[in-house]
Amino acid sequence: MTEFKPPLEDMSFLLKNVFNVEQLWQGIPALAEAVDVDTAEAILEEAGKLASTLIAPLNRSGDEEGAKWDDGVVTTPAGFKEAFATFAEGGWGGLCGDPEFGGMGMPKMLGVLFDEMMYASNSSFTLYPTLTSGACLALNAHGSDELKNEYLPNLYSGRWSASMCLTEPHSGTDLGLIRTKAVPNDEGSYDISGTKIFITGGEHDLNENIIHLVLAKLPDAAPGARGISLFLVPKINVENDELTTPNNVSCGSIEHKMGIKASSTCVMNFDESKGYLIGEAGKGLACMFTMMNYERLSIGIQGIGCGEMAYQGGAEYAKERLQSKGVGPLRDKTKDADPIVVHGDVRRMLLTARANNEGSRAFALYIAKQLDVAKFSNEPEQVAKANSLVALLTPVAKAFFTDLGFESTVLGQQVYGGHGYIREWGMEQLVRDVRIAQIYEGTNGIQALDLIGRKVAANQGQDYNVFSDEVKAFISTFESSAQADNLRLVAMVEQLKTSIASLDELTQIILERSGDGNELNGNAVDYLNAFGYASFAYMWCMTSLSAVEAQASSDNPYFENKLTVAEFFFARLLPKQQAYTNSIKAGVESIMAMPNDMF
């Protein structure tokens, strides 16, 4: 089984060369005080050690043992509790948390890289602190000062964990159907009653308390989603930082799943459990979406992490496995067989996975940059632009990263042939673990509907134009730059120009057809994929430009390798955008033609 090697060189290059974080952070006073490049690299190096030496060794054993439920008590696999204690002692749960309550205050650009390494090493383990971090965001943004002071320090420190309780047996995507009730009591709090399902980390033994963020309806609530409020419901009641009495919160069972078996996925029962309102009554969805948007990006990162781990395993195996003779200069004439890495189809699979991973990593950092600007900048125009991009790109990140992550894990498994289907090589677990990422936190189809409906059609493409204009500005700047005669870069930028023009045309088609709900629904996934590939073309052009500039003062082969992967992307992967474009132009008549009873 391949040992995880943190991709620190690529992460450092992206931070320093592509996104020039030294200049970015120095231009934002709150970040200039919090972090510099040297500190960032030291944090990532330590995070890499944590992921590779402490968390990764628990991945296979955790999968085999799984989380266990016994009469309401959930036990995590051997080693998880001790590893979580070490994780918490290092302050990692508060990496991007508010320093006022004990967090480290690091930018999200470091957070996404940290998350990637954690997911690559052990997706099941990583989900426990990830849900806590998301809950902290929602609480910090919308909770009262009293709630923040009482709960945030202990959540950041890892003394307590958190969960997100939305889904009910009869209510998944349509949250307006939820039945969980919140009844005001004489103490100024609320009695919460109802059942939630698919609750990640709803019960476990990693620490002493679990703080549930629960969507519920007040007795006089408006119908549908407008009547939903958000409540903080502790597993054990808290008073003056001390645990007091159990709060009538119980775990009815855990799910037996295809993957992420060491992550407890719980049925949670609330029986007049004491809860505290977060934000305004009836505004619960807005509060919860602060957390949901974080979780959606984080789950996108899960796709990157699993894809990276699959690529590392596949590349290592391909360089060692001897089968058949190669053709051309890559063959070794002194041996009876060559390593399979010389064969064209194996190289295609590895390069596809690598291009998926590296393009995703760059795009994740790009979105994290917007989150940091929106959160920390004092410039209103910068903040407005960043917020537009975050709203537009979050569904793309969640869906596209996880689709590509699943593709990359399958490709990594395929490189192994029959050995990829065998447990001890670790590849089949990656395929199983990452598959859920396309489903939870809103299925990828729902993400596509969010993009095409709410983020494009609803505002007549205003947020889309912010992104498109930025890409065109990059092209214009390149064409007047010192690298404008570099033929390798010119070829890439020309394809970017065609790609963004095609996406502009496609977006206009969508806007013209937006009055037909079937057009939006039937074309949503194809539109998101076309958008994803165009976005990656932008990332690869930025990355390649930085690699060429770095080559001028370095003979590090990393930069040439980066350009080679970029050229593979433009030659073999970007053409997929045109196929999605053609599908959308064909309309949805063939989708909607068959009567319901014929399915």
Active-site residues, by number, are: 441
Instruction: Give the contacts of 7 (CB within 8 A, at least 6 positions apart).
Output: 308, 361
Q: Half-sphere exposure of 170 toward its Cβ, with a 13 Å CA cutoff? A: 7
* CA gap 110, 52 in Å, rounded: 17
Q: What tokens appear for 387 in the block? A: 């917020």
Q: Which amino acid is at 350?
A: L
Instruction: Give the contacts of 19 (CB within 8 A, at least 6 positions apart).
Output: 109, 365, 366, 369
β-partners of residue 68 are 75
Strands, E assignment, 88-200 = 160-165, 181-184, 190-200
Q: What is the DSSP string of 427-449?
A: HHHHHHHHHGGGTSSS-HHHHHH
**Span between the terminal Cα atoms of the chain, in Å:** 43
Residue 4 has φ and ψ, to the nearest 5°, of -70, 130
Instruction: Give the contacts of 546 (CB within 8 A, at least 6 positions apart).
Output: 13, 17, 18
Closest by CA to 582, choosing from 485, 500, 519, 502, is 502
Q: What tokens appear for 442 in the block? A: 């809103």
